[in-house]
């Protein structure tokens, strides 16, 4: 089984992707997304900095762009949500509560 590992930086957060195109005896694909610097930093796709995503084999490959480009586009899209914008704004301010 081939496992791909990719690292990239998104909005100042270093992210590691681990992708197994065929996992669990070759019946499903598995993608892990984790923020590694800062460790466990929230992302617009996960509050914990870690996301495990199982999907049909070939899903990533049939989409346009590299794995990093696809995940970056997903992060960019989810970063437009009101919840993420609120999180970013609150993290810039000192909160006493």
Write out pLDDT tens, residues 7-50: 999 999 999 999 999 988 889 999 999 999 999 999 999 999 99
pTM to 2 decimal places: 0.89
Q: Which residue has the higher pLDDT, 91 or 32?
A: 32
Amino acid 1: pLDDT: 59
Q: Which residues contact 50 (CB under 8 A, 6 or more apart)?
A: 32, 33, 34, 35, 40
Amino acid 91: pLDDT: 87
8 A C-beta contact, residue 33 and residue 96: no
What the block records as the tokens of 86 is: 């609120």
């Amino acid at each position: 089984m081939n496992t791909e590992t990719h690292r990239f930086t998104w909005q100042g957060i270093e992210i590691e992707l681990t992708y197994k195109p065929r996992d669990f005896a070759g019946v499903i694909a598995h993608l892990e997304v984790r923020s590694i610097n800062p460790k466990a930093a929230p992302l617009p796709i996960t509050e914990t900095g870690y996301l495990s995503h199982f999907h049909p084999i070939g899903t990533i490959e049939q989409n346009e762009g590299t794995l990093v480009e696809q995940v970056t586009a997903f992060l960019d899209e989810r970063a437009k949500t009101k919840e993420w914008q609120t999180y970013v704004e609150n993290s810039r301010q000192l909160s006493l509560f």
